[in-house]
């Protein structure tokens, strides 16, 4: 897959990520205790793509050159799913996932923080219906404004994805794990560029079987982990 960004080149597995870019990070290292099944592998409706597959595809179609999926080292099913994705992607281990979501953000940041990385687009796997158009709008806003943080908003409600510029990488690394990335958002509240999008997927979190049923009209069913 070829990126149109300056300095980009064709991606091949195992190739260092050293071109100018804003990679996407999918946070998928949670235990899915409220769902009772591994959320990354749940289908988006009857016979639909898995959450992680659909989200990775939307990110790449929206302009992200490659995707980093952060998961637990022992999550072999997710690792296999990432290896089979039809878009440039790789699995990133987070052995400290129990420390909270910020640990996964930092695992993705550390994997992506190479020369040429200008920012990081971050989204949790439990918001699987984000559209490629939303991703494209966020990247365009980031490119045109130079804001330290660009955030998707739907009808006045903040959601995901969020783009963090390189300027706030150190702030993320210093953030209180008990507060997470929200601490960085609050510290830069006045400089955040909120991008209003016509995409309910940015606020459609799926944490429980009831959430899944409300979104897809049926329960998650059996199978998975």
Contact of 191 with 149, CB cutoff 8 Å: yes
Q: The tokens of 202 are what?
A: 């940015």
Q: The tokens of 218 are what?
A: 């049926």
Give the pLDDT score at 213: 94
Nearest one of 23, 107, 109, 33 to 73, comparing CA atoms: 107
Q: How many CA atoms lie within 13 A of 54 on its CB side?
A: 21
Q: In this structure, is the dihedral angle defined by the CA atoms of residues 165, 15, 91 and 65, taken in order, positive or negative?
A: positive
Regions in the chain scoring below 70 on pLDDT: 1-20, 222-225
Give the pLDDT score at 183: 92
Give the pLDDT score at 1: 31
Distance CA 70, CA 107 (A): 7
Distance CA 184, CA 2 (A): 32
Structural domains in the chain plus CATH codes: 24-206 (3.90.550.10)
Give the pLDDT score at 13: 34
Per residue in 95-113, pLDDT tens? 999 999 999 999 999 999 8
Q: What is the DSSP letter of 22?
A: -
């Amino acid at each position: 897959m070829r990126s149109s960004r300056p300095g980009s080149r064709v991606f091949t597995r195992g190739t260092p990520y050293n071109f100018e870019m804003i990679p996407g990070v999918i946070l998928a290292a949670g235990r899915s205790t409220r769902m009772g099944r591994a959320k990354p592998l749940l289908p988006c409706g009857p016979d639909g793509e898995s959450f992680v597959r659909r989200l990775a595809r939307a990110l790449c179609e929206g302009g992200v050159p490659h995707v980093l999926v952060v998961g637990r080292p022992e999550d072999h099913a997710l690792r296999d799913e990432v290896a089979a994705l039809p878009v440039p992607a790789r699995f990133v281990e987070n052995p400290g996932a129990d420390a909270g979501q910020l640990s996964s953000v930092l695992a993705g940041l550390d994997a992506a923080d190479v020369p040429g990385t200008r920012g990081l687009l971050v989204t949790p796997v439990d918001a699987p219906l984000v559209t490629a158009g939303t991703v494209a709008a966020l990247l365009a806003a980031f490119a045109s404004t130079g804001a330290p943080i660009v955030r998707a908003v739907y009808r006045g409600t903040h959601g995901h994805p969020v783009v963090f510029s390189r300027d706030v990488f150190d702030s993320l690394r210093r953030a209180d794990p008990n507060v997470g990335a929200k601490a960085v958002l609050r510290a830069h509240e006045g400089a955040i560029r909120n991008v209003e999008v016509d995409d309910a997927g940015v606020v459609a979190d799926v944490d429980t079987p009831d959430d899944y049923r409300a979104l897809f009209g049926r329960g998650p069913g059996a199978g998975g982990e």
